[in-house]
């Protein structure tokens, strides 16, 4: 045990480990806040689709040799979020099918572009870390850390300020529209915030595992609690704890960060399901 503590202290000496812990915690917090709304609005699929789009954008960015790929990934993901929301509402093209096309398409194109144009010596390593986020959390530059902190604060502020409206739009869109509140505007806001969260979360768990970060804490909290505010707060706490635990375990036992966090989320979900069932 003291071995582990010593090892941990040794790692915490390094600034990149401290950065990783700070950024990871913030990302986990942000992703869980909107997770409840996403699950309840049946928007979980949008998170999944967007993360694949973000992978495609990331591939383009890394081929272009940009120092900060967020500059490309962020706008592309934001635009995709708006488009997906539109396609979900139109009855012309089936929203589901449009989304599947977009997400698989950008995944394939991303890999294709990386294969054709990449100058990197370790291509499969690059792809793997974008998809599963294995090491990228430990290689964050200071700029990215500050960017993550700023965006997290933005997401949290927006969520707190619009909490009541987000609740109303999630619970009953038609009623909210009928009393003269611009529901579409808030749907758009939700989609944009999700896009920001996804771009942030790519660093932590990679694009394939991102939905887990958004959905698991929300579902776990919904097993335990019965009111919206409680569910949101509980999912935030669960998410932060799982992310911290996952990161620490992955540092100590050198497991991949993303999958370890998701494993922790799954564990918590099962525990919560059992508690929820016993209490019922």
Partner 1 sequence: MAYITAKELSVGYAGTAVAEHLHFEVNQGDYLCIVGENGAGKSTLMKTLLHLIEPLAGDLEYGDGMQRDSIGYLPQLTLVQRDFPASVWEVVLSGNLARCGHRPFYGKQEKHNAKEQMEKLGIWELRGTCYRNLSGGQQQRVLLARALCAATRLLLLDEPVSGLDPRVTAELYQMIQELNHGGITILMVSHDIQAALRYASHILHLGKARQFFGTKDAYLSSDAWRMFAGTGGVLHE
Cβ neighbours of residue 40 closer than 8 Å, sequence gap 6 or more: 170, 171
Looking at 180, 254, 277, 278, which residue binds partner 1 (CB under 8 A)? Answer: 180
Task: State yes or no: residue 41 binds partner 1 (CB under 8 A).
Answer: yes
Question: What are the structure tokens assigned to 231, written together?
Answer: 């569910």
Cα dihedral sign, 36-84-73-254: positive
Task: State yes or no: residue 45 binds partner 1 (CB under 8 A).
Answer: no
CA angle 236, 239, 241 (to 5 degrees): 110
Give the integer Cα–Cα distance in Å for 107 and 72: 16
Looking at 138, 167, 237, 276, which residue binds partner 1 (CB under 8 A)? Answer: 167
Only one of the segments 1-9, 49-57, 119-127, 229-237 lies at the binding site for partner 1 (rule: CB under 8 A); that segment is: 229-237
Looking at 181, 189, 252, 271, which residue binds partner 1 (CB under 8 A)? Answer: 181
Looking at 119, 174, 278, 279, which residue binds partner 1 (CB under 8 A)? Answer: 174
Looking at 70, 176, 239, 260, which residue binds partner 1 (CB under 8 A)? Answer: 176
Looking at 222, 238, 262, 263, which residue binds partner 1 (CB under 8 A)? Answer: 222
Nearer to partner 1, 143 or 157 (CB): 157
Number of residues located near partner 1, criterion CB under 8 A: 30
Give the integer Cα–Cα distance in Å for 216 and 239: 8
Looking at 13, 121, 227, 278, which residue binds partner 1 (CB under 8 A)? Answer: 227
Shortest Å, Cβ 163 to partner 1? 8
Q: 30: number of CA atoms within 13 Å, CB side?
A: 30
Q: Is 254 helix (H, G, I), strand (E, B) or coil?
A: coil
- Using CA atoms, how far residue 40 sits from 33, 43, 172, 176, 238, in Å, is 12, 7, 11, 16, 18
Question: Interface with partner 1 by CB under 8 A: which residues?
Answer: 40-42, 160-165, 167-168, 170-172, 174-181, 222, 225-231
């Amino acid at each position: 045990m003291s071995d582990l503590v010593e090892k941990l202290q040794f790692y915490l000496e390094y600034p990149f480990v401290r950065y990783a812990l700070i950024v990871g915690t913030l990302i986990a917090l942000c992703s869980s806040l909107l997770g409840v709304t996403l699950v309840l609005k049946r928007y979980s699929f949008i998170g999944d689709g967007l993360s694949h789009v973000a992978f495609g954008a990331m591939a383009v960015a890394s081929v272009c040799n940009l120092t900060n790929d967020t500059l490309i990934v962020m706008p592309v993901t934001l635009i995709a979020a708006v488009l997906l929301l539109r396609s979900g509402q139109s009855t012309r093209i089936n929203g589901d099918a449009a989304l599947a096309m977009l997400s698989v398409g950008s995944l394939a194109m991303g890999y294709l572009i990386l294969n054709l144009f990449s100058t990197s010596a370790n291509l499969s390593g690059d792809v793997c870390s974008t998809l599963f986020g294995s090491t990228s959390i430990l290689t964050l530059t200071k700029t990215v850390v500050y960017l993550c902190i700023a965006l997290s604060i933005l997401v949290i502020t927006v969520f707190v300020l619009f909490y009541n409206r987000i609740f109303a739009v999630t619970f009953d869109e038609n009623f909210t529209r009928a009393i003269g509140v611009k529901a579409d505007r808030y749907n758009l806001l939700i989609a944009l915030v999700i896009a920001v969260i996804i771009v942030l979360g790519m660093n932590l768990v990679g694009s394939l595992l991102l939905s887990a970060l958004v959905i698991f804490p929300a579902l776990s909290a919904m097993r335990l609690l019965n009111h919206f505010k409680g569910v949101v707060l509980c999912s935030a706490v669960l998410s932060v704890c799982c992310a911290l635990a996952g990161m620490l375990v992955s540092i100590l036992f050198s497991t991949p960060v993303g999958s370890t966090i998701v494993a922790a989320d799954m564990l918590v979900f099962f525990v919560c399901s059992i508690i929820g069932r016993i209490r019922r």
